[in-house]
Structure 1
Amino acid sequence: MAPHAIECPHGFHALCGSERKRSISIADEAVNWAGIALTTLYVGAAAKMIDENTVQVGISIHDGVYSVDFCIHTLHISPGESVADALKADAVETINKYSKEHHAKFVGCGLAESLISLCRDMPSFLWSELDIVVMRFKVKTEFPKFECSDGIQGNSTETIPIDVDEQADSAVRKCIMNFGPGQNPALSIGFRNRVEPDTGGRVELVTKLESYQKTVHEGTWNSFSKYANELKKNKAKVAFFSATPQGGGVALMRHALIRFYRLWGVNVQWYIPKPNPKVFRITKTNHNILQGVADPFERLTKERQEMMDEWISYNANRYWLGEGGPLAKGGADVVIIDDPQMPGLIPLIKEHRPEVKVIYRSHIELRSDLIGVEGSPQAEVWKFLWDRIKLADVFISHPVDKFVPAQVPMSMVGMMPACTDWLDGLNKDLRDWDLRYYHHSLRNSCSDIGMNMLHYPAREYITQVARFDPSKGIPDVIESYRKLREMLEEKVPRMVTPQLLICGHGAIDDPDGSIIYDQTMKQLDEPRYDEIRGDVVVMRIGPSDQILNAILSCAKLVVQLSTREGFEVKVSEAIHKGKPIVATRAGGIPLQVQHGKNGYLVEVGDTTAVAIYLYNLYTDRGLYQRLSEFAKVSVSDEVSTVGNATCWLYLAAKLVKGEEMKPNARWITDMYREDAEQPYGKGEPRLPRLDIHLKGDSFENVETVD
């Protein structure tokens, strides 16, 4: 197919300053990679057909304050070339050329519907190929022609066309209004505190279901299609409730799930309460108590219990139980309570609408051994929660038997891991140009607080990406790195040593972040860390998925040394990128790491073993390559958005039809595959099915799946 021809009657006019070009040209290559800023820009585009083989395209470029450049050019479509393909090829060529000539990074794009009508998947194309967040807008293509006589405006049915560059400028200005701090799309919370992902649907990251279909195996996709169509046919409504709309793994999963459900047309919504810092301090303390990492004198007092109940009642009555609300008559048919912060909602649901089916998802590690000790802080917190959770119809847990206390009947327990989205900003492939931009952003953030900087690519680095939480094993990460450096300096003194980066997002319901960050910095001030202190970077990262993506993408090695853990899907995200990982046998982590194949597992606190494995991977290229290649193909559909979405729809479809749902500690994935008659394919990766030992129903139950 011959390439399309381009005529450019009005080309770009802005020029990059000669001094900036000179300074970039003489910079050291390693410094130049992430040391020189790329100017942040936004772009708008519109198009119209001149004839069946000719398209006129208008482009407007904006820096967030002013319009800085524009162009109009004409594409002549070649025989055998589609208009959509020509537009996409032109977009890549134009944006790449402008980016390099002006040392710029485009972060947002406003597309006029006139262009999208010619190339429906342009938004997802720009997102996946050029890392540009795209929003579509309806902009005027013409305006009425009025004639004035003696100061009197007359009416006219005639119109004057608006040029495509003006349409593009309107689109980019509208786009900029939807971006918040840090060049991130604004979070949108709608009526009744409903979370509206992707800035209320204005952002279009994925426009074709086929994009999701390519991320999973046939059996998973066929199963999802079956249950999605069932729920649509029955006009069923599903509602998720969780504590926060942003920050932390639950929010990340829900944004991706709602985006996917919306594309398919399934009626699934997501609601959050009005935040209350005092309550979030209580719920975070409860979290730490249940994991066994809180101060032993912390207790869930009567006063704190009442405060949590009042918070839930206030939100339920104000937002959700009133007429037209998700918990009122005609509202949701199935409700999923997604956090240990909100089980108080369950009795309210059962009181007002006893016919509604409720699923409770337990996503943190519960110290069942301590919960079983009468009078312990864990037993007190669990009793408060269980008095409410026991009214639910299904109890979903991470697939680790120790996470399910003895009070939970095995019949109501189903196993389901956490998930991640292979198409979102955390996981999609990034170009080298984009990696440079995000690493420079990280350098700026480090500079702002006087933190050490990464010297990548001149030096490689090891990273742990996780919240600053008492259960994430950050002290062990630092100690393991110290021991690794000693080994490298002793055995291969001429080898360039790696740096260490410890980083993660924050969350509005996590007041421990600043405390743990300060403890980490105090640890590094100890004399024993004098030799490595200058090579350790400790950063709390803002709400940018792509920065975390860039950090994992460029890391040499990844560690996850949690002392207590739920599932921690960051492990699978690193493995999916081909990064060998060294991780602890905590929570659901061992389900994701195949020891000696895509990483290594160590006992909690064994920093010497961590250092040895890191040393072997860092110094043995053959070993590293072997584990890296296996890692890329070893991740299961069960941790993907599509796999997780299918689990929820399977449960909802059965409950809506009035079928009894008794998982009996089985994996929900196995249940829907069996029900949909979609057996696992040969060689299809699966998380290991370990023996499940539960003590519910007053006896020990064992389920073994080969």
Structure 2
Amino acid sequence: MARKCIMNFGPSLAPLLQVAWRGIVEVDASFQAPLISVEDYKTTCNSATWEAVMHYAKNLRKHKTKIAFFSSTPQGGGVALMRHALVRFSRALGVDLRWYVPKPHPGVFRITKNIHNTLQGVSEDGKYISADEKNAIVDWITDNGKRYWFSNDGPLCRPDKGGADIIIIDDPQMPCLIPQIKKLTPSRPVFYRSHIQIRTDLIKVAGSPQADIWDFLWQNIKQADLFISHPIPSFVPHNVPREKVLYMPATTDWLDGLNKPMEIWDTGYYGHLYNVKCRSERMTELQWPRRRYIIQVSRFDPAKGLPTVVDAYACFREQLEKHGGVAIPQLVICGNASVDDPDGIAIYDQVMTQLETKYPHIMGDVSVMRLDPCDQLLNCLMANAHVVLQLSTYEGFEVKVSEALHAGRPVIATYAGGIPLQIKDKIDGFLVEPGDWKAVAGHLMELFTDLKLHDRMSQAAKTGVSDEVSTVGNALSWYYLAMKWAQKGPKLELLGNQQWVNDMARSEAGQPYTEGENRLPRSFTQL
């Protein structure tokens, strides 16, 4: 199931992903080469989740409800992965759900990444987003809106002229669309979906870079009807009215190349492909299956905790050598680059400098690679690791954790963002404080010297993942919101108030959660 890795803003040879007229993202070769069926998706969730999503899909088809998503890039990063899957699934169900991106602007992407880093609190101290930089973003999005989206038959024109009935704006690159939409159609529902950890503690500090950029964004976001956040209350700034707040986790697709089961031949092929890429860059090659390995799959981003990964591995090696009797595993640090993320090269260089200056003696066992988009390659690397790490210092949700658990891999991760909602500490993995490389090293010792513990955690991981983090679970939440707001039915006033969308959707469809069903904890007090 090769998917969505080729972008096309011009001629191309049979791409699986195309960005067509008006910036609409079309998957599966403009929907001419469908890769999955509705029946395929039915196998990825339990019957209650499936019945609920079919209930809302039927309603949306009946009323011909049109849903439009807007985000900054068609490839790279978790938002794009979710939207690819949601478009594909909706197309199979006959739900009119479409996804639009602006024409790319590399100069602006540096600014948007600076905003992202500022909101997460990982930017340079005292670094502000200038007025000119803010205006550049507004001009970029406004220009795309006028050219492609607000014009006749565009997705943001009036619904009676062919525009969408429900509009969702993803993340802080595009909120300036919200007041423009509301000016044209005040009653049309617009939702803002926040996918990142926002340092609300820093936003409260008057005059801080975080407060400054949030004030700029909030002038637009406050006109949205709902503020939909990852399910961590501290991610929602203090001035967002709680009656507008809903919770929804990040999700992944169990049928795509990142997660599907792979045959031995496929594993061998993609393992070889990884080593060919390593050889071309004179990087350490992976020696699996002769040697076990540890992996962290993530973007090369200042919030992903990559220095902690290196420190933990070095400490673990030292302990293992003293212990004796267990072969030294390798370490793999890899991830795809994102179209709108210019930090990747700098963070990659930072990791290599750390290895060269602090740990030159272990470089022969560490493989660090920035990879071109290839889902099956990441799948192969993740599914065959002995242990998966996710040592972020700040995080939104990081669904790579759920993907690793789904593959039956024990995960050592940090108490950052939504990660603790996905891991059952000491059952399918271990949770540590961000930056605590000594604790990580200790847990690696446990998982490499106690194979019974590893097997027990692997089984718990494989069987404990919730439908909420799947494409079907994601579609269920969005379909429910679209139905409620497009039709302005009863109980609309109950939306918001920091509820979980998935709970509301399941209950109203007559499929409430039952005791024993896999479900994410509804608060950190349940952890």
TM-score (norm 1): 0.72
Q: What do you get for the CA RMSD once the two structures are aligned? A: 1.5
For the pair 1:458 / 2:290, whether they are aligned, the reply is yes
The separation in 2 between residues aligned to 1:577 and 1:495, in whole angstroms, is 24
Matches within 5 A, 1:432-451: 432-451=264-283
The equivalences for 1:550-629 within 5 A come to 550-629=380-459
Give the Å deviation of 1:191.
1.3
2:339 corresponds, among 502, 505, 508, to: 508
Instruction: Assess, with a 3 A threshold, how the Cα gap between structure 1 residues 705 and 496 changes in structure 2: closer, same or farther.
Output: closer
Q: In structure 1, what is the equivalent of residue 87 of structure 2? A: 258
Pairwise CA distance, 1:679: 1.7
Distance of 2:399 and 2:526 partners within structure 1 = 22
Which residue, 540, 557, 563 being the options, matches 2:370? Answer: 540
1:367 is displaced (CA, Å) by 0.3
- 1:306 equivalent in alignment to 2:104: no
| 2:495 pairs with 1:665 | no
Secondary structure at the residue paired with 1:525? Answer: helix
2:9: which partner in 1? Answer: none
Residues 705 and 327 from structure 1, CA distance in 2 versus in 1: closer, same or farther, beyond 3 angstroms? Answer: farther
Q: Which amino acid aligns with 1:409?
A: P
1:272 to 101, 105, 110: 101
Aligned residue runs from structure 1 range 201-280, under 5 A: 201-207=31-37, 209-280=38-109
Q: Distance in 1 between matches of 2:368 and 2:124?
A: 24
Match runs of 1:399-548 below 5 Å = 399-492=231-324, 494-526=325-357, 528-548=358-378
Tell whether the 8 Å contact from 2:16 to 2:30 is kept in structure 1 after alignment: no
Read off the aligned partner of 2:349 and give its amino acid letter. Answer: D
C-alpha spacing 1:403/1:575, structure 2 compared with 1 (3 Å)? same
Checking the alignment, whether the CA contact within 8 Å between 1:178 and 1:186 is kept in structure 2 is no
Q: Paired residue for 1:343?
A: 175
State whether residues 327 and 353 of structure 1, in contact with CA within 8 Å, keep that contact through their aligned partners in structure 2. no
Equivalent position amino acid for 2:143 in 1? Y
The alpha-carbon deviation at position 178 of structure 1 amounts to 4.0
State the percentage of identical aligned residues: 52
1:695 maps to none
Cα distance in 1 for residues equivalent to 2:174 and 2:276: 38
Alpha-carbon distance in structure 2 between the residues aligned to 1:657 and 1:212: 27
Question: Matched residue of 2:302: which SS?
Answer: coil
Residue 672 of structure 1 and its aligned partner are, at CA, apart by 0.8
Query: SS of the counterpart of 1:531?
Result: helix
Determine the C-alpha separation between the residues in 2 that align with 1:262 and 1:178: 23
Are 1:464 and 1:560, in contact at CA under 8 Å, matched by a contact in 2?
Answer: yes
For residue 500 of structure 1, give the secondary structure of its aligned residue in structure 2. strand
| Structure 1 position 682, deviation (Å) | 3.7
Alpha-carbon distance in 2 for matches of 1:572, 1:306: 38
Partner of 1:321: 150
How far apart, in 2, do the equivalents of 1:202 and 1:298 lie? 47
Whether the 8 Å contact between 2:301 and 2:343 is mirrored in structure 1 is yes
Q: In structure 2, do the counterparts of structure 1 residues 673 and 186 end up closer, same or farther at CA, with 3 Å as the change threshold?
A: closer
More strand by percentage: 1
Q: How far, CA to CA, are the matches of 2:16 and 2:97 in structure 1?
A: 21
Partner of residue 508, structure 2:
675
The Cα offsets for residues 19-42 of structure 1, whole Å up to 9 and x where unpaired, read as: xxxxxxxxxxxxxxxxxxxxxxxx
**Alpha-carbon separation, structure 2, partners of 1:595 and 1:552:** 20
Cα 1:590–1:133 change in 2 (3 A) is closer
- In the comparison of the two structures, how many residue pairs are matched? 514
**Secondary structure at 1:605 match in 2:** coil
* Distance in 1 between residues matched to 2:385 and 2:414, nearest whole Å: 19
Q: Distance in 1 between matches of 2:252 and 2:319?
A: 35
- State the AA in 2 paired with 1:672: A
Higher relative contact order (CA 8 A, sep 6+): 2
Q: Once structures 1 and 2 are overlaid, which stretch shifts more, 610-619 or 198-207? A: 198-207
Counterpart contact for 2:253–2:470, Cα < 8 Å? yes
**Does the aligned pair in 1 maintain the 2:16–2:27 contact within 8 Å?**
no
Shift of 1:513: 0.5
Say whether the 8 Å CA contact 1:205–1:424 is kept in structure 2: no
Deviation of 1:689 (Å): 0.9
Do the aligned residues in 2 keep the contact of 1:414 with 1:666 (CA within 8 Å)?
yes
Displacement after TM superposition at 1:305 (Å): 1.2
4+ residue stretches of structure 1 with deviation over 3 A? Answer: none
Shift of 1:278: 1.5
User: Secondary structure of the residue that 1:421 maps to in structure 2?
Assistant: coil
Query: Structure 1 residue 352: deviation in Å?
Result: 1.5
Deviations 1:162-213 (A, max 9, x none): xxxxxxxxxxxxxxx745xxxxx44311111100011211222112x12211
Which 5+ residue runs of structure 1 have no aligned equivalent?
1-126, 135-176, 180-184, 692-703
TM-score relative to the length of structure 2: 0.95
Give 1:531 shift.
2.3
Matches of 2:21 and 2:254, distance apart in 1: 30
Measure, in 1, the Cα distance between the counterparts of 2:17 and 2:48.
34
* Inter-partner Cα distance in structure 1 for 2:474 and 2:343: 29
